[in-house]
């Protein structure tokens, strides 16, 4: 992959390339979807969360259908594949997007925002009327190491009644207890239970990292959300890029980035 190409998905079944960028997002209802009215690629956020956390910003991802494989519902499998493949440092400087002022989007009481900071953190709160989930908050300082230990294994989750409704419409046919945490009205249905006691909010952070990676550069700033979603994250990326005063693009040489990687690894 050439320098400054960004993250590009390629659908081999239709011969179409789609760059991972906010302007190419076409749906955010159940997952982040990029493409156009005719062809698209869905559920890109779990893979992109891993790619971003590994510091990779130039990559060609080939898929042979309309959805990235869900794997186990987390980013863990993608991390293992990235470890196996390795990465190459290119000759061009690396771009960083520095948040210069607070930017916020809202939907009633729900919000997602970014703020200036030199140590990027993700601070997420959820509040579900469900006895297992209830209110959860998690704050996490981003680095590759902390992502692997605290976030990457957190699985997506859903409610049995929603899965049943989707299947009645011919959707979510591949969904199972193998690739998501599924809950009925009272309990978790997965026999193995949770990987973390607050796995639900950790997965929301995983999603947010993937969604914000569409900005196309490593983000230096804090992210905070209450009851956020793919839709709010998408609106936030567009709001950030709307005004050049909200951010600044800076570059680091190969040597300087290698020194920074020692800190962020």
Q: Which of 46, 142, 203, 230 is catalytic?
A: 230
Residue 162's contacts (CB-CB under 8 Å, 6 or more residues apart) are none
User: Which residues have CB under 8 Å from 13's CB, separation 6+?
Assistant: 64, 65
Chain center to CA of 111: 17
CA distance 133 to 126: 8
Measured CA to CA, the distance from residue 42 to residue 255 in angstroms comes to 36
- Establish whether 230 is a catalytic residue: yes
Contact 167, 182 (CB under 8 A): no
Taking phi over 0 as left and psi of -120 to 50 as alpha, with beta for the rest, 4 belongs to left
> Most distant CA pair in the chain: distance in Å?
55
Edge-to-edge order in the sheet of strand 94-99: 218-220, 94-99, 247-252
Neighbours of 140 (CB within 10 A): 21
Instruction: Answer whether 75's CB lies under 8 Å from 208's CB.
Output: no
Work out the angle at residue 197's Cα, subtended by the Cα atoms of residues 193 and 199, and round it to the nearest 5 degrees: 85
Tell me the catalytic residues: 230
């Amino acid at each position: 992959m050439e320098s400054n190409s960004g993250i590009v998905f390629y659908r081999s079944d239709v011969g179409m390339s789609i760059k991972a960028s906010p302007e190419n997002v076409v749906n955010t209802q159940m997952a982040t979807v990029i493409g156009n009215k005719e062809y698209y690629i869905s559920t890109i956020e779990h893979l992109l969360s891993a790619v971003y956390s590994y510091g990779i910003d130039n990559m060609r991802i080939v898929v042979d259908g309309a959805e990235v494989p869900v794997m186990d519902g987390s980013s863990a499998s993608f991390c293992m594949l990235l470890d196996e493949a390795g990465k190459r440092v290119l000759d061009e400087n690396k771009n960083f997007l520095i948040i210069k002022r607070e930017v916020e989007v809202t939907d009633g009481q729900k919000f997602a925002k970014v703020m200036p900071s030199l140590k990027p953190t993700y601070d997420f709160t959820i509040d579900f009327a469900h006895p297992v989930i209830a209110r959860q908050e998690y704050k996490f300082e981003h680095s590759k190491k902390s992502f692997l230990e605290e976030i990457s294994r957190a699985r997506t989750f859903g409610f049995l009644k929603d899965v049943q409704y989707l299947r009645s419409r011919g959707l979510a046919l591949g969904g199972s207890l193998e690739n998501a945490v599924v809950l009925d009205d009272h309990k978790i249905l997965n026999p193995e239970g949770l990987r973390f006691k607050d796995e639900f909010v950790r997965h929301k952070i995983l999603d947010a990292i993937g969604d914000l990676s569409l900005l196309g550069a490593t983000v230096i700033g804090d992210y905070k959300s209450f009851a956020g979603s793919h839709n709010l994250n998408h609106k936030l990326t567009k709001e950030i890029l709307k005004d050049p005063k909200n951010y600044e693009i800076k570059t680091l040489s190969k040597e300087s980035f290698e020194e920074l990687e020692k800190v962020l690894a």
